[in-house]
Amino acid sequence: LLSLHLPPTMRMTAADGTEYVAKQMHFHWGGESSEISGSEHTIDGIRYVAEVHIVHYNSKYKSYDIAQSAPDGLAVLAALIKVEDYGENTYYSTFISQLNNIRYPGQSTVLSDLDIRDMLPENVHHYYSYKGSLTTPPCTENVYWFVLASPIMFSRAQGWKLENSILDHQNKTLHNIYRMTQPLNNRVVETNFMNLPNERSEFQLYLTKLDNKLENLKSLL
């Protein structure tokens, strides 16, 4: 697992006021073939190339070790990674450039001047949320998930580098480190927005037309 340890000063506050302390940030990807994408969440059945998780624990607990077994102990902020013909995402340049230094299991490096907020999508206000589990062992069912609606943009070169830099214990390129989408099992997935960002519903179009008519009416009066 490719992960970054985060300082406890980094925190997230949920809509209900619960404060969560950041623990670590890690990535999931596919890459075994050009047809395999590696996000663990899908939106409208679409799987993205990769996914980043920022794991937090509830600040009411003294440590992650205590919180990880509590029913309201954990929260994960997730962002999907989209790879197309974009320019380089410069907020990831330092991170991507360091992958050559941690190719083998057990290796570590120190990253400075990383701004985690900049590494997330510009829009962090729209998200899906649900109560679920960790996607890696012990897979405990005590995670409040927040999946950002807007993806992180990677260039094709950055996507390839993420998928092909890390080796496993057999010195083979580490691919497909993601868990397949799980059944909902009666979970309720909520959103805090009416429609996806940058999309316009019929209702919005109706309101726009109504506003235009009112403006035209004002100009006539």
In the predicted structure, residue 3 carries a pLDDT above the cut 70: yes
Residue 10 lies in a domain: yes
Average pLDDT estimate for 137-159: 95
- What does the pLDDT read at residue 112? 80
Residue 114: which pLDDT band, with cuts at 50, 70 and 90? confident
- Percent of the chain predicted with pLDDT > 90: 74
pLDDT of residue 130: 96
pLDDT of 26 strictly over 70: yes
- Closest by CA to 49, choosing from 81, 4, 74, 90, is 81
- Higher pLDDT, residue 13 or 201: 13
At residue 181, does pLDDT exceed 70?
yes
pLDDT above 70 for 4: yes
Mean pLDDT for all residues in the chain: 88
Report yes or no on 214 lying in a domain: no
**123 belongs to a structural domain:** yes
Answer yes or no: is pLDDT of 203 > 60.
no
Note the pLDDT of residue 113.
79
Q: Is residue 179 part of a domain?
A: yes
What pLDDT is attached to residue 200? 47
Task: Return the half-sphere exposure (C-beta side, CA atoms, 13 A cut-off) of residue 75.
Answer: 23
pLDDT of residue 154: 96
213 falls within a domain:
no
| 130 belongs to a structural domain | yes
Mean pLDDT, rounded, for 14-39: 90
How many domains is the chain built from?
A: 1
Q: Residue 183 belongs to what domain range? A: 3-194
Residue 216 counted as domain residue? no
The CATH code of the domain that includes 55 is 3.10.200.10
pLDDT at 213 over 90: no
Res 45 pLDDT > 60: yes
